[in-house]
Structure 1
Amino acid sequence: MTIRAVLFDFSGTLYRLEKDGPWLADLVDGEDLVGEHEVELVRRLTAPVGPLDGLPDHLQDAWARRDLDPAVHREVHLAMFDRVGLPAHTAEAFYARLVDPGNWRPYPDAVQALRTVRDAGIRSGIISNIPWDIRTALKRDDALELVDDLALSYVEGRIKPDPELFRLACRRLGVAPEEALMIGDSVTADGGAAEVGSRVAFVEPLPTAQRPTALLDALAAHGVR
């Protein structure tokens, strides 16, 4: 069936949480929370689904629901930071960096991929488990005008892989799920699109400098050039 819409994930697919310089070294004293350890902490905090190691059982439910409610997202992150020994003021500053659109970078081919879809006469949408408005980042990179619709978990009250979230995104784009291609980085979360009949392509959530053409390659593999 002809592809009439392409759905993109945001984190790890179109954009990645990255910043120049360290995340914590200018905020804390102590070698145990900087360098490779802080990189691993950021990686764990941005994993799309699943429990978080080191978080007590009574907070795991809040962790699972974090992308449905910005307040819950903040509270459960601060609880995690407290467990790894961050002072309260440092935890607040670190959290602010995680949700700062300025620290989210587009992959080298992200805007070009969106433009390729638009130029092919195909509708596009972003479907993301996220607790903040990504439009600031998209607008900064002249990408917002290339996207027809956003289905964000904290707005819609659903998180991937909930099949209804994919159905909703397709409905708003005016296509049947079978006419959509979902591109994401998580087999568990983004792979849920297959349950409603959509085609699915996966990319690796590598550092942006290490993944120059994966989105364009995924589109080309499905005949979108």
Structure 2
Amino acid sequence: MVGQARTNLPYDAIIFDLFGTLVDDLLTEPFTQTLEEMASFVGAPRDIFLQMWMHDTWPLRAAGHLPDVEANILYICTELGITPKPEQIQRAIHRRLELTRQSLKPRHDALETLEALRTAGYKLGLISDCSSEVPLLWRTTPLAAYIDAPIFSCSVKLKKPDPRIYHLACERLEIAPERGLFIANGESNELAGAQAIGMEAMLIRVPYAEEHNPRCHEARTWRGARIESIKGLLAHLDGVRVEEL
């Protein structure tokens, strides 16, 4: 029956990556421009600030050791011997949050696909390696209404491909790992990480993203299932189609 949840689903839950999957990866130009403005606001050398934000402090942010944007800025400034004024820090924080807010716009086919999956009876989860801005703004995004169990690395202090973060998603969704499908763009060996605990994994690699994220090393060697759009997932699932729902 159209619109009725099915009982013979191939999985109990679909678990998504966030950046490069449900939303586009951050593009280099606006990301770099934002960091340059932040450096200018707090009086930090541009190149050093970018290096420290993009590389040196990313592991600390993603693992929750720098609990918010202010802590990250102060960490860098302390390392550089800089003491910005509170209003300078607030300008930098505001700029960073604005970039994150813009980056959390769902891909054009994401919401209709999530709606179709929920109507069909799937539980929906999320595992994202991210910093504190994402969970801070998550409830303001339209994606939040569809995801039953969102997991953010900075909140749980675990990063992919640590098996514990996948097990945590399964626990919160109340499913066995082998009844879950994980979909991601192949960064941080995240697909292999899902497979290692018994989940099935699927690569998403939209054609226009090829040039934007060279960090997706798994995408170059992946031999498993793959899709080129979120909506393309529906063709891999038995009888779930947007036009039917």
Same fold (TM over 0.5): yes
How far residue 103 of structure 1 moved from its aligned partner, in angstroms, is: 2.0
**1:97 aligned partner:** 95
Root-mean-square deviation (Å): 4.0
Mean alpha-carbon deviation: is it higher for 133-142 or for 162-171? 133-142
The residue identity in structure 2 corresponding to 1:71 is: L
How far residue 82 of structure 1 moved from its aligned partner, in angstroms, is: 10
The residue identity in structure 1 corresponding to 2:202 is: A
* Equivalent pair of 2:34/2:96 in contact (CA under 8 Å): no
Equivalents in 2 of 1:123, 1:174: separation in Å? 9
Which segments of 5 or more consecutive residues in structure 2 lack a partner in the other structure? 1-8, 41-45, 213-227
Equivalents in 2 of 1:216, 1:120: separation in Å? 14
User: Measured at CA, do residues 82 and 218 of structure 1 come closer, stay the same or move farther in structure 2, by a change above 3 Å?
Assistant: farther
**1:107 aligned partner:** 107
How far residue 138 of structure 1 moved from its aligned partner, in angstroms, is: 4.7
Instruction: Report the identity percentage.
Output: 24
Q: Secondary structure at the match of 2:117?
A: helix
Residue of structure 2 aligned with 1:10, choices 13, 18, 26 = 18
Larger Rg: 2
Residue of structure 1 aligned with 2:34, choices 23, 30, 45 = 23
Equivalents in 2 of 1:63, 1:134: separation in Å? 14
* Equivalent pair of 1:184/1:203 in contact (CA under 8 Å): yes
Equivalents in 2 of 1:154, 1:93: separation in Å? 23
Equivalents in 2 of 1:189, 1:97: separation in Å? 30
Asked if residue 69 in structure 1 is aligned to residue 64 in structure 2, the reply is: yes
User: Measured at CA, do residues 168 and 82 of structure 1 come closer, stay the same or move farther in structure 2, by a change above 3 Å?
Assistant: same
List aligned pairs for 1:42-53, cutoff 5 A.
45=54, 52=55
List aligned pairs for 1:52-201, cutoff 5 A.
52=55, 55=56, 62-69=57-64, 71=66, 74=69, 93=91, 96-100=94-98, 101-104=100-103, 105-132=105-132, 134=134, 137-191=137-191, 192-201=193-202
User: Measured at CA, do residues 103 and 94 of structure 1 come closer, stay the same or move farther in structure 2, by a change above 3 Å?
Assistant: farther
What is the TM-score with the length of structure 2 in the denominator? 0.62
Q: Secondary structure at the match of 2:115?
A: helix
Asked if residue 214 in structure 1 is aligned to residue 229 in structure 2, the reply is: yes
- The count of residues paired between Structure 1 and Structure 2 equals 197
Deviations 1:39-62 (Å, cap 9, x if unpaired)? xx79x94xxxxxx3xx5xxxxxx5
* Equivalent pair of 2:180/2:200 in contact (CA under 8 Å): yes
* Equivalent pair of 2:68/2:132 in contact (CA under 8 Å): no
**1:48 aligned partner:** none
User: Measured at CA, do residues 119 and 133 of structure 1 come closer, stay the same or move farther in structure 2, by a change above 3 Å?
Assistant: farther
User: Measured at CA, do residues 80 and 202 of structure 1 come closer, stay the same or move farther in structure 2, by a change above 3 Å?
Assistant: farther
* Equivalent pair of 2:60/2:66 in contact (CA under 8 Å): no
Equivalents in 2 of 1:133, 1:72: separation in Å? 9
Equivalents in 1 of 2:77, 2:234: separation in Å? 39
Deviations 1:99-127 (Å, cap 9, x if unpaired)? 44422222111212221210110000111
* Equivalent pair of 2:106/2:143 in contact (CA under 8 Å): no
Equivalents in 1 of 2:176, 2:235: separation in Å? 21
User: Measured at CA, do residues 108 and 80 of structure 1 come closer, stay the same or move farther in structure 2, by a change above 3 Å?
Assistant: farther
The residue identity in structure 2 corresponding to 1:201 is: M
Q: Secondary structure at the match of 2:66?
A: helix
Equivalents in 1 of 2:37, 2:187: separation in Å? 35
